[in-house]
Amino acid sequence: MNAIVVADRNWAIGRDNCLLFSLPTDMKHFRAMTLNGTVLMGRKTLESFPGGDPLPRRRNIVITRCKTFARDGVEVVHCCKEAMTAVEDADPDTVWVIGGGSVYTCTLSQCKRVFLTQVDTLTEGADTFFPNLDRLPNWKQVSVSESMEENGLSFRFMEYENTAL
């Protein structure tokens, strides 16, 4: 299982249940990586999508503590352990944790890789963060792309690997 995330230099990922950045190149990257796979997300991240709809052409699994939550095209699980059971038969390289902050945190130790788009900025007022992998002992950066520019922002694709798995 892998995680995919876009964050600023401080690992900030969201504010007011919205993304911090609009980067078409990163959206294309996200789509290409996750297409035809399984995406695992928190209920708030699902609600942040247009119309609260699941992502097309992917198996969508949503974590919520609400026992009555149901949405067309979504598999619902009620804890991280149940989420891990739901994906245990899938090819791990095709299972993607896509946020938000709480789900990244509770699944991080089970992720082999994190695909980070790091935006070279610091965001005011962010309220949701990804764990700082540079400060966690089991995580090492294994690749980094050239810097790209879009919408006045510089960003790079980075890959981190969990050496404990």
Region of 160 on the Ramachandran plot (φ > 0 left; ψ -120 to 50 alpha; else beta)? beta
Q: How far apart are CA 142 and CA 116, in angstroms?
A: 11
Please state whether beta strands 2-8 and 148-150 pair in parallel, antiparallel, or not at all (unpaired): unpaired
Is residue 23 a contact residue for ligand NAP (CB under 6 A)?
Answer: no
Among residues 40, 61, 87, 98, which is the contact residue for ligand NAP, using CB under 6 A? Answer: 98
Residues 141-160 that bind ligand NAP (CB under 6 A): none
| Window of 6-14, 49-57, 145-153, 155-163 that interacts with ligand NAP by CB under 6 A | 6-14
| Window of 13-21, 32-40, 89-97, 139-147 that interacts with ligand NAP by CB under 6 A | 13-21
Is residue 128 a contact residue for ligand NAP (CB under 6 A)?
Answer: yes
Is residue 54 a contact residue for ligand NAP (CB under 6 A)?
Answer: no
Find the shortest distance in angstroms from Cβ 132 to ligand NAP.
14
Q: How far apart are CA 27 and CA 6, in angstroms?
A: 10
Closest CA to 97 of 85, 114, 82, 81: 114
Is residue 13 a contact residue for ligand NAP (CB under 6 A)?
Answer: yes
| Window of 40-48, 84-92, 136-144, 148-156 that interacts with ligand NAP by CB under 6 A | 40-48
Is residue 79 a contact residue for ligand NAP (CB under 6 A)?
Answer: yes
Q: How far apart are CA 115 and CA 34, in angstroms?
A: 11
Contact 96, 38 (CB under 8 A): yes
Q: Is the preceding omega at residue 100 within 30 degrees of 0, hence cis?
A: yes
Binding site for ligand NAP (CB under 6 A): 5-7, 13-14, 17-19, 41-45, 48, 63-66, 78-80, 98-103, 106, 128
